[in-house]
């Protein structure tokens, strides 16, 4: 594991924010993992907050990269990596484009990727041992929040999972660095929850509808509306049926 550097904290406002404030402490030639046992100001997508009590995994992977202008593809590659790791320990998860990690049609995790000063900052939060009380304040479209414990996966050890992810992620990041999303498309389709679904998507406050067709080469969602293909580069799925 000499290609990674690990920065563990008991408590941080946000591992993504810490990474962005401390590029000078990070190793430019390695993959840096920043983790916290809990966060007091966890950041979610669409400007939401991310509830981060003890019992979850809060991790930011940060690496230097001078060519990425579009972090959606690393979000998707990371989602595939997370799903395939959990499958290896017997837990079937799904991806809801672009950044939601789903278990039994409920949300157990999410990814927030950012690009700043030639660093990629890929933060993921996973609700592992959270109780129902930890989740009452979370309000998300369609899939309600849950944790793996609530879904019946007891006795998961966050620190063991993190150590296994430290082993799992670097080769996937190298794969992404070399060939972008292309080697993740099959994995994405395997875990994709949108297959054959009709979608209602919020795109810049406009409602767009269509049936899932495929993932495009830039990680965009391609949908079909009355035989017309539409590409969605960013948006939030509000409904699928
Ligand atoms: C989402 O809204 O689905 C994305 C959630 C991302 C949460 C993680 S937890 C670790 C990292 N630090 C943060 O502040 N946010 C991300």
Is the beta carbon of 113 within 6 A of some atom in ligand 1?
no
Q: Compute CA distances 24 → 4, 12, 13, whole Å.
A: 16, 18, 19
Index of the ligand 1 atom closest to the CA of residue 100: 3
Stated pTM of the model = 0.96
How much distance in Å is there from the Cα of 124 to the middle of ligand 1? 5
Is the beta carbon of 32 within 6 A of some atom in ligand 1?
no
Is the beta carbon of 14 within 6 A of some atom in ligand 1?
yes
Distance CA 215, CA 221 (A): 5
Index of the ligand 1 atom closest to the CA of residue 45: 2
- Return the residue whose CA atom lies nearest to atom 16 of ligand 1: 123
Q: What is the pLDDT of residue 229?
A: 96
Q: What is the pLDDT of residue 1?
A: 58
- Return the residue whose CA atom lies nearest to atom 7 of ligand 1: 125
How much distance in Å is there from the Cα of 123 to the middle of ligand 1? 5
Q: What is the pLDDT of residue 69?
A: 61
Is the beta carbon of 38 within 6 A of some atom in ligand 1?
no
Index of the ligand 1 atom closest to the CA of residue 13: 14
In order along the chain (241 residues), what is the average pLDDT of each group of 10 residues? 90 98 96 98 94 97 86 96 98 97 96 96 97 81 91 96 97 93 95 97 96 95 95 95 92
Burial zone of 148 (CB within 10 Å; 0-12 exposed, 13-18 middle, 19+ buried): buried
Is the beta carbon of 219 within 6 A of some atom in ligand 1?
no
Is the beta carbon of 50 within 6 A of some atom in ligand 1?
yes
Q: What is the pLDDT of residue 211?
A: 97
Question: Secondary structure of the chain in the HEC alphabet?
Answer: CCCEEEEEEEEECCHHHHHHHCHHHCCCCCEEEEEEEEECCCECHHHCECCCCCCEEEEEEEEECCCCCCCHHHHHHHHHHHHHHHHHCCCCCEEECCCEEEECCEEEEEEEEEEECCEEEEEEEEECCCCHHHHCCCCCCCCCECCCCCCCCCCCCHHHHHHHHHHHHHHHHHHHHHHCCHHHHHHHHHHECCCCCEEEEEECCEEEEEEEEEECCCCCEEEEECCEEEEECCCEEEEEC
Distance CA 213, CA 218 (A): 15
Length of the chain equals 241
């Amino acid at each position: 594991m000499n290609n990674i550097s690990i920065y563990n904290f008991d408590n941080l406002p946000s591992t993504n924010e810490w990474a962005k404030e401390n590029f000078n402490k990070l190793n430019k030639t390695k993959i840096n993992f920043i983790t916290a046992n809990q966060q007091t100001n966890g950041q979610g997508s669409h400007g939401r907050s991310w509830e981060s009590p003890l019992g979850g995994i809060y991790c930011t992977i940060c690496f230097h990269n001078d060519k990425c202008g579009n972090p959606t593809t690393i979000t998707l590659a990371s989602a595939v990596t997370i799903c395939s790791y959990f499958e290896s320990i017997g837990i079937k998860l799904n991806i809801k484009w672009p950044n939601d990690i789903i278990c039994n049609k409920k949300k157990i995790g999410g990814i927030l990727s950012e690009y700043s000063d030639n660093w990629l900052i890929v933060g993921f939060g996973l609700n592992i041992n959270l109780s129902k009380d930890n989740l009452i304040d979370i309000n998300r479209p369609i899939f309600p929040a849950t944790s793996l414990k609530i879904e019946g996966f007891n006795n998961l050890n966050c620190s063991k999972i993190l150590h296994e992810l430290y082993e799992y992620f670097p080769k996937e990041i190298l794969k992404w660095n070399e060939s972008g999303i292309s080697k993740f498309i099959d994995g994405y389709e395997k875990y994709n929850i949108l297959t054959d679904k009709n979608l209602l998507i919020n795109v810049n406050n406009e409602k767009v509808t269509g049936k899932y067709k495929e993932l495009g080469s830039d990680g965009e969602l391609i949908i079909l509306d009355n035989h017309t293909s539409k590409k969605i580069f960013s948006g939030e799925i509000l409904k699928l049926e």
